[in-house]
Amino acid sequence: MGNEYGYVLGLDAQTGSELWKFPKLRKPRTEWWRTGAINSHGIMVIGSEKSSLYYAIDTDTGELKWKTTSIGNETGCFPAIADDGTIYLTGGYDGGLYAFDGGGGPLLSSPWPKGMNNNKNTSRN
- Label residue 108 by pLDDT band (50, 70, 90): very high
What pLDDT is attached to residue 63?
A: 97
Question: Residue 59 — very low, low, confident or very high, per pLDDT cuts 50/70/90?
Answer: very high
Query: Does residue 75 lie in a domain region?
Result: yes
Q: pTM for this structure?
A: 0.85
Inside any domain, residue 30:
yes
Tell whether the torsion through CA atoms of 119, 82, 94 and 68 is positive or negative. Answer: positive
Q: Is residue 119 part of a domain?
A: no
Q: Which residue has the higher pLDDT, 93 or 33?
A: 33
Question: 37-46: per-residue pLDDT in tens?
Answer: 999 999 999 9
Q: Is 71 or 66 the better-scoring residue by pLDDT?
A: 66
- For residue 107, tell me if it sits in a domain: no
CB-based burial, 52-85: b 16+ in 10 Å, e otherwise: bbbbbbbbeebeebeebeebeebbbbbbbbeeeb
pLDDT of residue 30: 78
Q: How many residues does the chain have?
A: 125
Residue 70: which domain range? Answer: 8-101
**Sign of the Cα pseudo-torsion (86, 63, 120, 91, in order):** negative
Q: Alpha-carbon distance 10 to 97, whole Å?
A: 28
What CATH number is associated with residue 18?
2.40.128.630
CA distance to 19, 77, 95, per residue, from 53 (Å) = 24, 12, 15
Query: Residue 56: which pLDDT band, with cuts at 50, 70 and 90?
Result: very high
The reported pLDDT for the residue numbered 121 is 79
Count of structural domains, the chain:
1
Alpha helices per DSSP H over 1-125: none
